[in-house]
C-alpha cells in the first residue's frame, strides 16, 4: 500500500491523475488483506481498471472512476476505442455475480493458495530456484531448459520468460490435485521427494 501511495503522491505533485491497472486487483487484495478502498481511492488512485478476466470472468472487465471529473466523456472515448459492443450488457451482467457475496475475493484466494501449495512442495529442491517470493497466484522458477521441455511433454502449461526462467500461473479453479501433480513432476525431474505430503 505504501508503494501505491508513494506513486500517487509523485503523480499528484506533478498534476497527473493515477490509473491503476487492476488486471490482478483481486489477487493484490488477497495478498495485502486490505479493503478495495484502501488499495485504490484511499491510496490516491483516480481510475481503476477492475479486472475479472484473469480471475474467472469471461470477456469483461470494468472501469471504476473515483474522480467524477474524469468520467466526463469517458463513454465517448470507449466507443471510439472500440470498447463498446452491441449487447455489451449481457457480457457485463457477469460482474454482478462476480462481486456478489465476495466471489471474486474467494477466487483470488483460491489461486493464491494453489501457488503457495506448489511453492511449499518444491521448497529446497536442488537445481530449482524460486526467483521471487510467491505472493499471489504466480510462481517464477529458474530451471534448466531440458526440465521445461520435459514438463511441457507431460502437459504442463507455463510461460517461458527466458531459456532458464519459467512463469507458472495458478487459475481461480486450480485444484490441489493439479498443484500436487506439478510438485510431483518437478520432484521427479530434480530427483527428490516432495517437501511435504499432500493434505
For residue range 4-41, what is the model confidence (pLDDT) as tens digits? 999 999 999 999 999 999 999 999 999 999 999 999 99
- The average pLDDT across 177-197 equals 82
Distance CA 149, CA 152 (A): 5
pLDDT for 194 equals: 58
Helix (H) or strand (E) holding 50: strand 47-50
Right CATH for 109-189 from 3.90.1150.10, 1.10.1330.10, 2.130.10.30, 2.40.50.840: 3.90.1150.10
Bridge-based pairing of strands 19-22 and 47-50 is parallel
More confidently predicted of 198 and 102: 102
Lowest mean pLDDT among 28-42, 84-98, 143-157: 84-98
- State percent of the chain over pLDDT 90: 77
Q: Which residues on neighbouring strands pair with residue 21, listed in sequence order?
A: 49
Q: Is-contact 136 115, C-beta < 8 A? A: yes
Angle at 25 between CA 19 and CA 28, to 5 degrees: 115
The residues spanned by each domain of the chain are 2-92, 109-189
Class of 2-92 in CATH: alpha beta
Instruction: Report the C-alpha gap between 49 and 64 in whole angstroms.
Output: 6
Burial 135-167 (b: 16+ CB within 10 A, else e): ebbbbbbebeeebbebbeeeebeeeeeeeebbe
Percentage of residues in the chain having pLDDT higher than 70: 95
**Within its chain, how far is the Cα of 103 from the centroid?**
15
**What crossing angle do the helices spanning 103-122 and 176-189 adopt, rounded to 10°?**
20
Which three three-digit cell numbers place residue 195?
517437501
Whole-Å CA distances, 61 to 44, 51, 54, 86: 21, 5, 9, 16
Rounded to 5, what percent of the chain is helix, strand, coil? 45, 15, 40
Amino acid at each position: 500500500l505504501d508503494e501505491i501511495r508513494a506513486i500517487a503522491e509523485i503523480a499528484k505533485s506533478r498534476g497527473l491523475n493515477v490509473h491503476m491497472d487492476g488486471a490482478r486487483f483481486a489477487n493484490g487484495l488477497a495478498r495485502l488483506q486490505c479493503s478495495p478502498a484502501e488499495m485504490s481511492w484511499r491510496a490516491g488512485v483516480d481510475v481503476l481498471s477492475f479486472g475479472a478476466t484473469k480471475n474467472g470472468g469471461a470477456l469483461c472487465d470494468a472501469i471504476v472512476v473515483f474522480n467524477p471529473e474524469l468520467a466526463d466523456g469517458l463513454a465517448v472515448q470507449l466507443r471510439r476505442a472500440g470498447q463498446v459492443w452491441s449487447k455489451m450488457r449481457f457480457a457485463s451482467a457477469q460482474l454482478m455475480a462476480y462481486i456478489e457475496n465476495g466471489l471474486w475475493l474467494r477466487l483470488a484466494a483460491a489461486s493464491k493458495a494453489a501457488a503457495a501449495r506448489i511453492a511449499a512442495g518444491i521448497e529446497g529442491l536442488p537445481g530449482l530456484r524460486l526467483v521471487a517470493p510467491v505472493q499471489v497466484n504466480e510462481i517464477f522458477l529458474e530451471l534448466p531448459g531440458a526440465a521445461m521441455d520435459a514438463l511441457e511433454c507431460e502437459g504442463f502449461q507455463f510461460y517461458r520468460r527466458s531459456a532458464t526462467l519459467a512463469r507458472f500461473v495458478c487459475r481461480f479453479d486450480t485444484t490441489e490435485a493439479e498443484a500436487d501433480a506439478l510438485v510431483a513432476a518437478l520432484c521427479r525431474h530434480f530427483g527428490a521427494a516432495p517437501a511435504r505430503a499432500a493434505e
